[in-house]
């Protein structure tokens, strides 16, 4: 095999040589072409300004790691992996809404949306030259399809979330009888349903819950992001407010999953444990709470803090949020108003990272690299009191 070699450690008095590096044959530099369409416009005597930019960027001969078979001894090799395309829109709107001798108000809006596509991929003999992806059942064809990964002509799918669809709880024996013979592949007792167990959607109707019964429920990346600002002033008093928002992504609270599944024994869990199914609470629509979740009523086929491909849909939450990033209240005093004791004085108080307005149960609704919030430290809330004097 071509490549670099190095000596191994001594074993039984002998030393060998192993291939420790692969040659990057025919590797090319990435090349990119970008089309930008811009708009810079003033309305109502420039009281409202609009700046917009729509872009299409093709990255050709994209450098990426290509997964190799295990027998090679290497996990991947750097190669040119086709052409990826980014399409996006950036928008900024500012307004001089109110302007009098004493009072001014200037609001602002920013908006950003981007989509990534696999425009072309190296030929590999697979439909759409697919790389990676998750296999699920396709009700339209009665066969299986792959979603996510890289597929030629489609949106990049590394952020696609597939999950087992939670449909309720077996509250009565009649509920269990209605699914007689059902097998749940990821449960410990695969062919037995117990009162309080989760009911999973049987997508292909074969009475077996397995990897084919997952569905696409969303993405871990947002549809769009943006921000709102407001700057108001009255005489020497000013108030500045800055917010940002994110819409369309999903996130899973890993600590919630781990707590309600009790995967490491007796540990803290979410408050919803109080409302799970029990014989005293037989109408609950939250599956039974048991140590280590043997039947995988909460974990489904995913890990103990969630999974991008195999968790319960009940555990995925919308990550939409509006964040109050900054509020600054200030007062400016000119020296001429106080017998020129100084030139200018500014007194201000600022609060940063003050609040999130959202419904996520975890520590931070911000987008996560793998869609899971592992109990990240939230951004610190800070308060600053300042005085600036110019002489």
| Per-residue confidence in pLDDT tens, the chain, 391 aa | 677 778 778 888 888 877 778 888 788 899 999 999 999 999 999 999 999 999 999 999 998 887 777 777 788 888 899 999 999 999 999 999 998 889 999 999 999 999 999 999 999 899 999 999 999 999 999 999 999 999 999 999 999 999 999 999 999 999 999 999 999 999 999 999 999 999 999 999 999 999 999 999 999 999 999 999 999 999 999 999 999 999 999 999 999 999 999 988 778 889 999 999 999 999 999 999 999 999 999 999 999 999 999 999 999 999 999 999 999 999 988 877 777 777 888 999 999 999 999 999 999 999 988 999 999 888 899 999 999 888 8
Q: Residue 334: what are its φ and ψ, rounded to 5°?
A: -90, 145
What was the pLDDT predicted at 94? 97
* Structural domain includes residue 19: no
* Structural domain includes residue 27: no
Dihedral angle at the C-alpha atoms of 150, 155, 160, 162, nearest 10 degrees?
-80
Dihedral angle at the C-alpha atoms of 24, 26, 27, 33, nearest 10 degrees?
-170
* Structural domain includes residue 21: no
340 Rama sector, left if φ>0, alpha if ψ -120 to 50, beta otherwise: left
Range of the domain at 310: 32-390
**For strand 83-95 and strand 103-120, is the pairing parallel, antiparallel, or unpaired?**
antiparallel
Closest by Cα among 269, 270, 289 to 279: 289
Classify the C-alpha dihedral 119-121-127-133 as positive or negative.
negative
* Structural domain includes residue 53: yes
* Structural domain includes residue 248: yes
What was the pLDDT predicted at 1? 62
> What are the residues whose beta carbons fall under 8 Å from the beta carbon of 217, sequence distance 6 or more?
161, 162, 163, 165, 250, 313, 316
Alpha helices in the chain (DSSP H): 173-178, 254-261
Say how many domains are in the chain: 1
Kindly report the pTM of this predicted structure.
0.88
Which residues, in sequence order, are bridge partners of residue 146? 135
* Structural domain includes residue 228: yes
* Structural domain includes residue 24: no
Q: Residues 215, 140: contact at Cβ < 8 Å?
A: no
């Amino acid at each position: 095999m071509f490549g670099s070699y190095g000596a191994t450690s001594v074993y039984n008095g002998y030393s060998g040589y192993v291939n420790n590096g692969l040659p990057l044959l025919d590797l090319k530099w990435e090349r990119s072409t970008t089309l930008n369409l811009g708009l810079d416009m003033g309305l109502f005597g420039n009281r409202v300004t609009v700046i917009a930019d729509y872009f299409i960027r093709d990255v050709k001969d994209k450098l990426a790691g290509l997964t190799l078979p295990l027998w090679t001894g290497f996990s991947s090799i750097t190669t040119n992996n086709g052409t990826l395309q980014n399409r996006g829109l950036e928008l900024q709107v500012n307004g001089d809404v109110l302007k009098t001798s004493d009072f001014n108000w200037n609001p602002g809006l920013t908006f950003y949306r981007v989509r990534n596509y696999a425009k072309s991929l190296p030929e590999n003999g697979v439909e759409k030259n697919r790389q990676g992806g998750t296999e699920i059942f396709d009700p339209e064809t009665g066969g299986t399809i792959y979603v996510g990964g890289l597929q030629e002509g489609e949106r990049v799918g590394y952020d696609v979330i597939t999950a087992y669809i939670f449909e309720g709880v077996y509250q009565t024996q009649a509920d269990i009888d209605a699914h007689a013979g059902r097998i749940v592949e990821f449960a410990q007792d695969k062919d037995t349903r117990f009162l309080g167990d989760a009911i999973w959607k049987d997508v292909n109707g074969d009475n077996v819950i397995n990897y084919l019964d997952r569905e696409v429920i969303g993405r871990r990346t947002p549809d769009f992001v943006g921000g709102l600002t407001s700057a108001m002033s009255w005489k020497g008093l000013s108030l500045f407010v800055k917010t940002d928002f994110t819409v369309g992504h999903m996130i899973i609270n890993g600590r919630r999953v781990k707590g309600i599944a009790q995967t490491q024994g007796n540990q803290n869990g979410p408050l919803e444990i109080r409302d799970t199914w029990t014989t005293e609470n037989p109408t609950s629509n939250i599956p039974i709470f048991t140590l280590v979740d043997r039947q995988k009523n909460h974990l489904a086929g995913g890990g103990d803090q969630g999974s991008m491909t195999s968790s319960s849909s009940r555990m995925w939450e919308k990550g939409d949020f509006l964040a109050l990033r900054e509020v600054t209240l200030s007062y400016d005093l000119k020296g001429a108003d106080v017998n020129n004791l100084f030139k200018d004085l500014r007194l201000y108080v600022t609060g940063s990272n003050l609040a999130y307005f959202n419904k996520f149960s975890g520590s931070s609704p911000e987008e996560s690299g793998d869609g899971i919030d592992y109990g990240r430290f939230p951004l610190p809330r800070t308060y600053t009191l300042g005085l600036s004097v110019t002489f």
